[in-house]
């Protein structure tokens, strides 16, 4: 069995435990949100296999552009690759909010944030499995032992929470309704595109590589800070307070 599969199991189990712990902290152990961590698990496979890949492939064939990311590509096509994931992934993560059971959880501002957070993290857990499957298809990686993929573990853990923060922001906009719904979705698309910008620039072999390497994490931090702000606002509006999330204590 490819080593990446063993690391994927460790990554998904550990990240799922952290996701549940984070939800418990925010919701004061409200277990109604647990099932949402299962709803989005197949979403990454669905959106990649049936939407993103066919669409960008068809666009490349129509324009006569080889599907190999390079500076020789037209700028509009590079922009299409950059926006492909944000537009469709952020949409598919929100789809379960139309379910009556999900709508019941979104009847107040905090509930909309926790619902979006759980759905986004669910997508991230499924994406970790999908990426591991993709890595395992490459013979070059099949002989590597599981512990070589620690970078995969750290990245997937961080990205899973990033998906949660972004979907929470969009779901909060949907709760507020009207133009807030559109602005919430567009904000998450923009954040997602900025998070993906670093890897795109690295793939284009642009300089400085060190800056592009940390860009994604800087924008993930921005997504978390925005989520934190909305969580405080939502709690105050509902008559409750929420403190800062403390990760390290001296």
DSSP 64-120: T--SS--TTS-HHHHHHHHHHHHHHHHHHHHGGGGSHHHHHHTSSHHHHHHHHHHHH
Which among 200, 177, 168 is positioned nearest to 94, based on CA atoms? 168
| pLDDT band at residue 240 under the 50/70/90 scheme | low
In 89-227, where do the E strands start and end?
A: none
Q: Which residues contact 42 (CB under 8 A, 6 or more apart)?
A: 126
Query: Which of the four pLDDT bands, split at 50, 70 and 90, describes residue 246?
Result: very low
Write the pLDDT tens digit of every residue in 161-196: 999 999 999 999 999 999 999 999 999 999 999 999
- Distance (Å, rounded) from C-alpha 195 to C-alpha 23? 23
Question: What are 4-42's pLDDT values in tens digits?
Answer: 999 999 999 999 999 999 999 999 999 999 999 999 999
Buried b (16+ CB within 10 A) or exposed e, 206-215: eeeeeebeeb
Q: What is the pLDDT of residues 43-56, one digit of tens each?
A: 999 999 999 999 99
Overall residue count recorded for the chain in this entry: 250
Torsion sign, CA atoms 59, 124, 134, 213: positive
From CA 152, how far away is CA 53, in angstroms rounded?
22
Q: Which of 155, 90, 86 is nearest to 119 (CA)?
A: 90
H or E element in which residue 48 lies: none
């Amino acid at each position: 069995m490819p080593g990446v599969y063993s690391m994927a199991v460790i990554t998904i189990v550990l990240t799922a435990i952290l996701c549940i712990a984070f939800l418990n902290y925010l919701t004061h152990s409200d277990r109604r949100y647990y099932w949402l961590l299962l709803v989005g698990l197949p979403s990454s496979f669905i959106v990649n296999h049936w939407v993103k890949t066919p669409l960008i492939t068809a666009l490349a064939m129509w324009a006569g552009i080889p599907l190999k990311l390079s500076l020789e590509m037209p700028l509009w096509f590079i922009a299409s690759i950059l926006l492909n994931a944000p537009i469709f992934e952020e949409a598919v993560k929100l789809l379960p909010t139309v379910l009556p059971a999900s709508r019941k959880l979104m009847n107040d501002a905090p509930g909309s944030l926790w619902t979006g957070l759980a759905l986004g993290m669910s997508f991230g857990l499924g994406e970790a499995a999908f990426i591991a499957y993709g890595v395992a298809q490459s013979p070059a990686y099949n002989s590597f032992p599981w512990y070589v993929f620690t970078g995969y573990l750290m990245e997937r853990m961080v990205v899973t929470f990033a998906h949660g923060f972004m979907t929470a922001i969009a779901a909060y906009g949907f709760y507020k309704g009207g133009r807030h719904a559109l602005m919430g979705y567009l904000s998450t698309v923009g954040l997602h595109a900025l998070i993906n910008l670093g890897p795109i620039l690295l793939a284009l072999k642009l300089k400085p590589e060190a800056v592009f390497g940390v860009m994604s994490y800087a924008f993930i931090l921005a997504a978390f800070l925005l989520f934190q702000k909305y969580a405080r606002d939502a709690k105050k509006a509902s008559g409750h307070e929420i403190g800062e999330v403390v990760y390290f204590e001296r």
